[in-house]
Amino acid sequence: MEGAPDAGLRLLGMWASPFVQRVQLALKLKGLGYEYVEEDLSNKSPTLLLLNPVHQKVPVLLHGDRPIAESLVILEYIDETWTERYPLMPSDPLERAAVRFWCHFSVDKLGLSFLEVLKSTGDEQRAAIREALGNLKLLEDELREGLFRGRRFFGGEKMGFLDVVIGCGYHWLPELDEMTGADPVELDEGFPCLAKWVRDFRAQPEVKEVIPDHHKLVGYMKVMRERILNQGSASAPRV
């Protein structure tokens, strides 16, 4: 059992998955205990296939006997079910809309552009990195002069919904070159607000408990990258 007290929660996950880490971090911030079940994604359990027949992916959160799939959906469920503990979503509807907008951006644009970096080499990878850094710049601008300007976290003084989503997806940015074989990026120079935000995110005790050891993660990502490059760009990774 991870954490306390027992809220009748079971999480099907995979240790390296940023989507799973989002859910683990949200549960930690809410102080909710849960049973963790590690899935072997190369040999998915009948339970996973039964509970998430549409996507057959982790995470799946079981609350009692009710399964909830898709990390963003799970996060909203957790936040709306345990409203009195550490609210993740802002109360202002306009700010909630902005949080949802940047969550979509993180999935649709940022995530896809970094996947291209992982899947490519040489000139192709340099072009992919330019595209990914362009997307990162949009987030930097948002922290510097947008709705979240002057804040320590997107959520304010404390981490909120967007910090959980983007933080679990991109806490490894300082190790981008090691993970992807790309040229090193000077985060502090080009992205000072994001660089500070990543440092603050990684320093949070709940984050330290959830995010895997960076050496282990870099090793895992290198193996994934080799596998993807050997399979050809047509295959999607099972990360």
Ligand X SMILES: N[C@@H](CCC(=O)N[C@@H](CS)C(=O)NCC(=O)O)C(=O)O
User: Contact residues for ligand X (CB under 6 A)?
Assistant: 14, 17, 19, 41, 56-59, 70-72, 238-239
Q: Which two tokens stand for residue 219?
A: 């090793």
Least CB distance from residue 145 to ligand X, whole Å?
29
CB-nearer residue toward ligand X: 196 or 214: 214
Cα 96 from Cα 40, distance rounded (Å): 35
CB-nearer residue toward ligand X: 7 or 239: 239
Least CB distance from residue 70 to ligand X, whole Å?
5
Helices (H), 82-121: 93-105, 112-119
Least CB distance from residue 237 to ligand X, whole Å?
8
CB-nearer residue toward ligand X: 72 or 147: 72
Least CB distance from residue 212 to ligand X, whole Å?
12
Q: Residue of minimal CB distance from ligand X?
A: 57
**Residue entry with tokens 């040999």:** 43
Least CB distance from residue 41 to ligand X, whole Å?
5
The backbone torsions φ and ψ at residue 90, rounded to the nearest 5 degrees and listed phi first, read -70, 160
CB-nearer residue toward ligand X: 56 or 81: 56
**Residue entry with tokens 């935000």:** 197
The backbone torsions φ and ψ at residue 2, rounded to the nearest 5 degrees and listed phi first, read -95, 130
Instruction: Using DSSP bridges, classify how beta strands 33-38 and 6-13 pair: parallel, antiparallel or unpaired.
Output: parallel
Helices (H), the chain: 18-30, 46-51, 71-81, 93-105, 112-119, 122-145, 161-170, 176-180, 187-190, 192-203, 205-210, 214-231
CB-nearer residue toward ligand X: 145 or 226: 226
How close are the terminal C-alpha atoms of the chain, in Å? Answer: 24
Q: Is 19 helix (H, G, I), strand (E, B) or coil?
A: helix
CB-nearer residue toward ligand X: 72 or 229: 72
Least CB distance from residue 76 to ligand X, whole Å?
12
Q: Which two tokens stand for residue 93?
A: 């509807």
